[in-house]
Amino acid sequence: MARSMISAVIPAHNEGSTVGNVVRETLEYVDDVWVVDDGSEDDTYEKASQNGAQVVRQHHGGYIQAIRQGVTACRGDIIVTLDADGEHDPSEIPLLVGPITAGEADLVLGSRKRIPSFSERMIGWLVRMQVPVRDHGTGFRAMDRHLALGLDILGKCPCGTLVLEAHSKGARIVEVPVTVRTSEKKRRRKWNHLYQFWYVLYLLLLARRVTKKNG
């Protein structure tokens, strides 16, 4: 059986100071790295390219659009997403990919020891009404290519909606514990989560309607 090709997709907005190191580390564990430069105003493009990444440029369209661009552009049978700020440890990529290559999962979530924001924890409470996962909002994940290409990822961010949508498509979802390295990035206010609650509620209601119809 042929070995699965693994691609990494790294959304990046003004991450010139860190993206080069992230690309170099990640290339040790994957076949190729695709950085999606989300309208950066610094040297993100140059640093990513110089360190071995394929770089896709887009106007500043946000994280979800960057993920879509990267998933479409890359060639991997398995797609790993991670952040450009160095918070995720690329040496843990084999832990994420393992359950997929073993045929045990379609989506693997890198579960953080601590969920950083109250709003994420509240969304998690909603998500667990449908899917028993702890860390729905992690940016460190591995996906089967077929699943990744079929995801719409509703909302302002993937919190909650990515997991719920994957579950609705019959994806097998597992979690593996990962470490979070310190980074100097400023934590953004979680205003997006106010909108995200409504998207999550919509998907939960939709799932309940489908269940009643099939029941």
pLDDT in tens, 42-61: 999 999 999 999 999 999 99
**Backbone CA torsion sign across 135, 136, 140, 142:** positive
Domain assignment present for 140: yes
C-alpha to C-alpha distance for 118 and 36, rounded to whole angstroms: 29
CATH at residue 141: 3.90.550.10
- What Å distances lie between residue 56 and 22, 45, 53, 62, CA to CA? 16, 9, 10, 14
Q: How confident is the model at residue 36 (pLDDT cuts 50, 70, 90)?
A: very high
3-state percent helix, strand, coil for the chain, nearest multiple of 5:
40, 15, 45
**Taking all residues of the chain, what is their mean pLDDT, rounded to a whole number?**
93
Domain assignment present for 31: yes
Residue 156 has pLDDT above 90, yes or no: no
DSSP character string of 150-193: H----SSSSTTHHHHHHHHTT--EEEEE-------PPPPP-THH
pLDDT score at 214: 72
pLDDT score at 194: 83
**Backbone CA torsion sign across 68, 10, 182, 94:** positive
pLDDT score at 116: 84
Domain assignment present for 1: no
For 145, half-sphere exposure in the C-beta direction (CA atoms, 13 angstrom radius) is 14
Domain assignment present for 84: yes
pLDDT score at 184: 60
Domain assignment present for 202: yes
Domain assignment present for 138: yes
Domain assignment present for 106: yes
In the chain, how many domains are there? 1
Domain assignment present for 208: yes
CB-based burial label for 164 (10 Å; 0-12, 13-18, 19+): buried
For 112-155, how does the pLDDT look when each residue is reduced to its tens digit (9 = 90+)?
999 988 999 999 999 999 999 999 999 999 999 999 999 999 98
Residue 187 has pLDDT above 70, yes or no: no
C-alpha to C-alpha distance for 175 and 179, rounded to whole angstroms: 13
Domain span at 58 = 6-214
